[in-house]
Amino acid sequence: MKTKYALISVCIFAGFAHADDTPKNIIYMIGDGMGPAFTTAYRYYQDNPDTQEIEPTVYDAILVGMAKTYPDDDTFVTDSAASATALSSGVKSYNGAIAVDSDKKPVRTMLEIAKEQGMTTALVATSQINHATPASFAAHNESRRNYDEIADDYLDNEIKGHLPVDLLLGGGVRYFEREDRNLAEEFKQQGYQYLTDFEALPSLQTLPALGLFADKAFPFALDENPTRLEVMTNKALSLLQRTDNGFFVMIEGSQIDWCGHANDIACAMAEMDDFAKSIALAKAYVDAHPDTLLVVTADHSTGGLTIGSNGKYRWDTEVIKGVRQTAWPLAMALAKSTDIRQAWSESVDWGLSDEQYQQLKQAKQSEEPAKALYREVKDVINKQSYTGWTTKGHTAVDVQVFAYGKGSQKFVGSQNNTDIAKQLIEFIQ
């Protein structure tokens, strides 16, 4: 009998321990393309040069582990759809898959499970809201390229008679206001507020809501609004905190990846900064609401970024900080201008050497000056800052896992990206 009672006691206390580990709210943040080199580079980029210490970042403060990213094939290199499917459902799939398995059958996602449990759900992104990563949480499709069908799922994929997502913030007007189907109107008929003016976002006070603030994706942070994700994150958390049954929100720093594809380091660091500030808001939310868990990771790394290049033991952040525009608009400005140095000085705080001037001048004289200048502008900036890139695609490197708050200890160590999803789903169910 003593053994029996001891066993019962252990089970009871184990149950209490499990319940105590389970968060009420989950904030899941994905830095698209944000491999370890990006978070390291950001630490040096934001460092205060007037102090001897290299100050830690919010990423450093909550780092707990690493995750494998390979898809369900023999390539080892994932795309955002396969990795987001793994991160949303705990199921590995093929590149291009949106919450379907390798047989193209739908898999349940944590957002859908959260909705089944009566939680409030939200998706936030700086890409179009029906892009690969957010799509893999609330839609099911055999191809990430089927943008219209994915947008349709945000209405048609009902969970217990309700739409799957209570709050959507991002871009993608063209996919929701279509000639064949006006989804925006249908959302309004379902009681959603619909916003397209980003400046009106602070006035949003109730859910459900759909906010689409760009025809496709937002402009890059460096070119227009350096805090657009931070603003959306702040608004999302302020709305979600009013819910009674807990919430699940996925927030994506979408365009870190796009800057990596472009091999544009100034672009990448601006996106990393907006994402870091959004994480800081989420971390502060956890501090104020201890029943909340914050998990941050990446779907993969992009570009093969190296901090230092060409055999030089150096990386010049002041060069990068001096670039105030991404490469394409800078190239366009140079192509249109009659004075290369003058046009350059309007967007870059450091001057061109004679060699760099000749490099850009030659590009401007080519048959396609804008495209040639786009390539050479990046070459000049990368070489001047000693930034290296190995690819314009993705790489198979493990990515970092960050966690903070209730249940964060469950994500310590080396894990598969599917393990992150399985643990979050266990918390939600």
**Residues carrying an active site annotation:** 80
Rounded Cα distance, 349 and 347, in Å: 7
CA 29 from chain centre, in angstroms, equals 7
Rounded Cα distance, 10 and 4, in Å: 10
Rounded Cα distance, 188 and 205, in Å: 16
Beta bridge partners of 209: 167, 193
Using alpha carbons, list the distances in angstroms from residue 148 to 5, 182, 391: 59, 11, 30
Q: Residue 297: what are its φ and ψ, rounded to 5°?
A: -155, -170
Q: Residue 395: what are its φ and ψ, rounded to 5°?
A: -125, 165
